[in-house]
């Protein structure tokens, strides 16, 4: 039997974990959940929010528009409601991919320097 080499993602993230990913308070996560229709976390039996990877990806889009591009909340809502053609990669996804590559290259440079 062959070993799986691809990374297995998590099904759900807790509210605190999502806040840590973005370096913000959980109150901002709650606020964005209330304001943006694309954020729809599941709730467990205790009522705790459980965010999917799709929710985290949507938070990336929201943070990109609000924090980096300077959109207002209403402007970000309008931008997200614009239909993107299927297969088109958004600017936020490209920026996030480039950040991951940059982190990897910086870690590689530090490892080679030691």
pLDDT tens string 60-107: 989 989 998 899 999 999 888 885 554 566 777 788 888 889 999 999
* Domain ranges (residues) in the chain: 13-113
Does residue 59 contact residue 49 with C-beta atoms inside 8 Å? Answer: no
Contacts for 26 with CB less than 8 Å, ≥ 6 apart: 15, 16, 19
Q: Which pLDDT score, from 0 to 100, does residue 94 have?
A: 80
Q: Which pLDDT score, from 0 to 100, does residue 86 have?
A: 45
CATH of 13-113, one of 1.10.1660.10, 3.90.550.10, 1.10.540.10, 3.20.20.370: 1.10.1660.10
* Residues 17, 54: Cα–Cα separation, whole Å: 15
Running DSSP on this structure, what letter comes out for residue 40?
-
* Residues 8, 4: Cα–Cα separation, whole Å: 9
Q: Is the pLDDT of residue 22 over 70?
A: yes
Q: Is the pLDDT of residue 51 over 90?
A: yes
């Amino acid at each position: 039997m062959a070993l799986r080499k691809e990374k297995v993602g998590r099904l759900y993230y807790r509210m605190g974990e999502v806040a840590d990913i973005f370096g913000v308070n959980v109150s901002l996560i709650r606020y964005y959940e209330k304001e943006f229709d694309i954020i729809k976390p599941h709730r467990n039996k205790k009522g705790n929010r459980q965010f999917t990877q799709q929710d985290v990806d949507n938070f990336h889009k929201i943070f990109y528009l609000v924090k980096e591009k300077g959109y207002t909340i209403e402007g970000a809502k309008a931008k997200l409601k614009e239909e993107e053609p299927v297969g088109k990669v958004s600017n936020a996804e490209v920026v996030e991919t480039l950040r991951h590559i940059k982190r990897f290259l910086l870690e590689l440079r530090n490892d080679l320097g030691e």
